[in-house]
Every structure is written in structure tokens, then in C-alpha cells.
A and B are shown apart, each in its own frame.
Chain A
Amino acid sequence: MAPKVRRKFAPQSARPAKAARRDLSGNGISDGTPIYAQLILHFRHQIETARWVEGQNIPTLLDLAAEFGVARATVRQALGFLEREGLISSRRGRGTVVIGRPRNDLWFSVPAAWGPLDPVRGQLTAEILAFGPDGRLPDAPSHIRGTLASGYGVVRRLVKREGVPYLVGATYIDSRIIEEIGADEVYKAQGYQTVEQSKLFRGATADQSVTVDVADAEIAYLLDITLNAPIVVVERWVLDSAGTLISYSEGRYRSDFVRIERRLA
């Protein structure tokens, strides 16, 4: 009975289509982003947030096409992708059912104090992406007052937890510290450990900022997420007692791996 009713309404979907299309190609996501790619992100999110419940049917192809004002083939393309991911399964004549949820139980809480920025240790593996003496410091935001050191070294890492890549981190370290600690030590240790060992760290202050961004092609590749998927950026600036920026670190995390918890009262 249902299909007949829907077919009757189908021609009308031409009108809401325009409004929906404006929704899809507005600001934020870059111009030219394929619609099916946007649908994949959206549908996956419906499963992650249990709006589409495991074990239950999702809306029909026709309904979804009408809702977003796109062709059925586009919706089918997006659903096909999720089916290959093992999140849904379509059964002929019985609709499409949710059979799995993406894993997102690996989150950790960003601390409000100096120290490591990692979840429980031990299960982590780090791969060095770049290590060099001439790291060019990215432009600092204007609210960070401080003078630049004469040179920085950079260590860039891809960190995995239980085999799942979750962080691309870059730490820029004042060349004086690298000279003091030794390049081998800098290479082996985590960024914060290197800085702590330096005599310049005594009397130093540090600030931390957490913001949200979207994955560019490289981050998407390294973290195995979709282009333009949200990522969380944790930045830290360390100024020595003379006001020189002795370390800057930037961690780009999968957004479902990070949260912040604070006690207010």
C-alpha cells in the first residue's frame, strides 16, 4: 500500500528539491562537493547518533530522494557506500536495515593542565611523518604575544590507537632546546616531554586551545576519514620566562575521539 501513496506524491518533490539543494551546497562545504559524498556523511551520522537504529529499517530510497531533492541514483550510490562499510544491508523487497554502528568508543578527554595529550598509554603506536631542523612555524593567532625563537625543529607524527589512526600531531621546538636535549632525544620523546627537559621550561607559561576544523585531503588520508569530515584541533603554546615562544604544538584529532570535561561547581 505504501509504495502507491508515495508514488502519488513523488512528482511534487520537484518543488522542495530547490530548497533542499540550497541546503546542500551552501557555505561550509566547498563548492563542487559531490552530493552523494555529503549524503554519506549525513547518513553515517544518522547511524552514529542512533537516529537510524540498529536492527531497524531506514527510510526508503524514494523518501530519502524526496527529502533531499536529489535523484534516487544519488541516494543509492551513497547507501551502496555505507553497505560496503558494513553499516547497512539491503534485503530485496524488505528495505534496508542498519546492521552496525561505526566504532567511536575510543575517545579521551583533553586535560586542562600541562602534561600528555594521549589516552591510556600502551596501545598507542606512533609513526614519524617528518623530522627536521628547519620547521617553519605556522602563523600564530594574534592573541599569542611572544617573540619568535631564531629557529625551530619540527616533529610530525601519526598516532594510532589499537590500529585506528586518530591523531596527526606536529610539534615545533626552539632550536636551542634541540641543541640542549639532543636531536635523538627529541626524535624519541613526545613533544611535551622534550620541552619539559629543557632549562628554558622553568618559569614558562603555557596556553591551550581546542577548536574545530574540517579535514583537508592529507589529514583525511592519514586519519582514514572523509574529506571535510570534522576534526578537533588542539594547540599549545609555551612561552619561556623571557616571553619567547619555545614550543608550539598542533594536534589534529578525529573529532569522535575527543571530548572536553570540566567541573564548573
Chain B
Amino acid sequence: MPDSSPSPHYPAAFIGRGLFPIYIQLATIFRRLIENGEWAVGRQVPTHEQLGLQFGVNTTTVRKAVELLVREGLLKAYRKRGTFVITKPARQEWYDIPTTLHAALDIPEDIEIETRRASMPRQLPFASTSSLSAGSGYRLLRRIHRRRGQPLCLENCFLWLDLVQGAKPATLKRASLALVHESNEMAHANATLTFGIADKETARQLKISLNAPIAIFHQRATASGGRILMDSTSYFRGDCVRVFERIKP
């Protein structure tokens, strides 16, 4: 068994490597220490000299990293008294990605869905069982989900035409799966969540930065004969989505 170490320490090896300036790298570590409470709110952080020694960087670099977090409002430097933690990084309220049928049908009250455009798709993201030309038989709904006015996700939903026809405008504000579920034709529904980063257009519409993490939620509902009734892909801003499950009752 190796020597036990009392707390995870940070070898200097990983600082100063890669594309980013050293003080930016150091700031990400300080931010994490504040986030997980190792640097508690209201407490003083180690001196620049101590931090310089710990991470193997000079005090100028430490000062630049600290200044970055002071500008972010997480730290505050007092003359002679030292640097203190003011607050933790603000975090978004969680939005729970549905993992059950019940949750997928029911949109939380503070979420508003706007269907921006319904159009005939030029192509489908799956092989159509219809003998007709590619996009016919389906409608593409481009939707945006907002929480208290803030964009939460962009959804592209391909919906079997029968389900859209005759739908009231109010229906189009509901969860995509709910539109299918009502028809009583649905035999199976699956959901998959993967992760990625925002491209320019997604970033612009979700009001996040380029390369910010996103979660990609794909839902598909099929009828008993295998026909795809709905195929929906939602691009969520990554900083507020969560999958929370009880794994042992």
C-alpha cells in the first residue's frame, strides 16, 4: 500500500502545459477549490507565496490568477489582511432531463415551448418506411424551450404528419412526446443523451459562448409496425441540465 496522503494535492506537472496561459490554468484550479468548498466562503486563501510554492509558479502568475477571480467577484483582496473567498461561482438552476415516460410527457410549469416554424423537411434523419418521396409524411417543427424567458434548448422535431394535422396551436406548446402519446399509436419510445460543444449558430440562439458544453437529447417514438412517429433532437445548454435518478430504492 502506498503512503497515504491527507488531501488531494496538485502536482506542478499539469500547470504550464498546453495552449493556455499559466495564470488561466491556475485560475481554473482556484475556481474548483472554491466550488467544492475546499476554499470556504468567508475564509482567507493561502498567500501568493504559499500558492506559488504549491503549484510551482512565480507569485506574479498567482497574482494574475487571483485578479481574474477578483474580477469575477469570487475573491476579494484586502490590503495587509490577505485574500478572502466572497462567494461561490453562481450556478444555474437544474433542469432535469426526463428519463421516464411520465416525466417526458410533463413539461415543468416554468418552461415555455415556442414552435418557431413548421415545414416540410427536405430530408429525414432516418430511413423512411414511406414509399413516398423523402420528406413527405413528416413535418419538421423547429422549437425553442425557454425557462423564465431564457433560452434553455433548441429542438428539431420530425413528426409524422397525421399527428400534426388538425393540431390546435396550443398543442404545439406541449412536449413533443405528448403529441405522439395522445394518438395511442405509440408502441416504443427511447431517449439518448450525449454531450458536445456549441457551434456558432447554437451558441447564438442559446446565448452561450462558442464551444460551451451542450447536452444533446434525442427522443424517438415508433408505432407497433415500426413506423417512426417522432424523431426529436434537443440541444440543451450544458450548464443547467442534469439527469437525476434513484439507483437503489
**Nearest CB of chain B from residue A181's CB, rounded to whole Å:** 14
Contact flags B67-110 to A (C-beta < 8 A → 1, else 0): 01001100000000000000000000010011111001000000
**Nearest CB of chain A from residue B238's CB, rounded to whole Å:** 4
Write out the residue numbers on chain A whose beta carbons fall within 8 Å of the beta carbon of B5: 130-132
Write out the residue numbers on chain B whose beta carbons fall within 8 Å of the beta carbon of A211: 94, 241-243
Write out the residue numbers on chain A whose beta carbons fall within 8 Å of the beta carbon of B59: none
B126 at the interface (CB under 8 A from A): no
- Cα distance A236–B247 when bound, in Å? 9
Write out the residue numbers on chain B whose beta carbons fall within 8 Å of the beta carbon of A216: 28-29, 31-32
Write out the residue numbers on chain B whose beta carbons fall within 8 Å of the beta carbon of A226: 18-19
Q: Is the interface of A mostly helix, strand, loop or mixed?
A: mixed
Known contacts A112-B245, A132-B7, A183-B1: does B197 contact A26 (CB below 8 Å)? Answer: no
Write out the residue numbers on chain A whose beta carbons fall within 8 Å of the beta carbon of B214: 212, 230
Is the pair A30, B24 in contact by a Cβ cutoff of 8 Å? yes
Known contacts A131-B2, A131-B4, A230-B213: does B24 contact A32 (CB below 8 Å)? Answer: yes
Which of B15, B203, B221 is close to A217, meaning CB atoms less than 8 Å apart? Answer: B15
Known: A215-B28, A262-B192. 11 other contacts (CB 8 A): A23-B204, A28-B208, A32-B21, A40-B19, A131-B5, A207-B245, A220-B14, A260-B99, A263-B188, A264-B101, A265-B188
Is the pair A27, B17 in contact by a Cβ cutoff of 8 Å? no
A31 at the interface (CB under 8 A from B): yes
Write out the residue numbers on chain B whose beta carbons fall within 8 Å of the beta carbon of A24: 209-210
Is the pair A212, B21 in contact by a Cβ cutoff of 8 Å? no
Is the pair B209, A26 in contact by a Cβ cutoff of 8 Å? yes
B25 at the interface (CB under 8 A from A): yes
Is the pair A221, B192 in contact by a Cβ cutoff of 8 Å? no
A134 at the interface (CB under 8 A from B): yes
**Nearest CB of chain B from residue A82's CB, rounded to whole Å:** 12
Known contacts A23-B210, A211-B242, A222-B14: does B8 contact A217 (CB below 8 Å)? Answer: no
